[in-house]
Amino acid sequence: MRSRFATPLAAAALAVPLALGIAAAPAQAAPADKPQVLSSWTQTSASSYNSWVAARSNQGSWSTYGFDWSTDYCTTSPDNPFGFPFQMSCARHDFGYRNYKAAGSFDANKSRLDDAFYADLKRVCTAYSGLKRTSCEASAWTYYQAVDKLG
């Protein structure tokens, strides 16, 4: 009589944690092309920047990739120094830093990320002319030097 109840009791005992959601679900791996997508969004070109902006505005479509989209923008520096809108450039720079650090390949990519940041900042400056553009480019150079040396 004891063996007749043992099997159903054991099965019931195993089913309770599953029904309560206690058993860990297997972790979903990021798509195999995650490194390529990350690389494509962190290049110096305007098309790379534009692709990243489009993806950022539709982050839900990229949720399976597990990207870190968080940002503190330009950290302790002004996001819009002298009225120059550097905020999105800083956000993309944060994206690159955070995701390459998470991937364990930050050191191999830092220089390119900083160069892409500088290219983004310089593209902001193309909207200006004369002394205002010169001032913007000087600000961009200062921001670039800060991340290059301290980032």
Query: Measuring CA to CA, which residue among 35, 41, 133, 130 is closest to residue 88?
Result: 41
As annotated, the active-site residues are 93
The DSSP secondary structure of 33-81, one letter per residue, reads THHHHHHHTSSSSHHHHHHHHHHHTTGGGGGGGT------TTTTS-SSG
Longest dimension (CA), the chain: 95
Residues 95 and 68: beta-carbon distance below 8 Å = yes
* Helix 106-125 with 46-56: angle, nearest 10 deg: 100
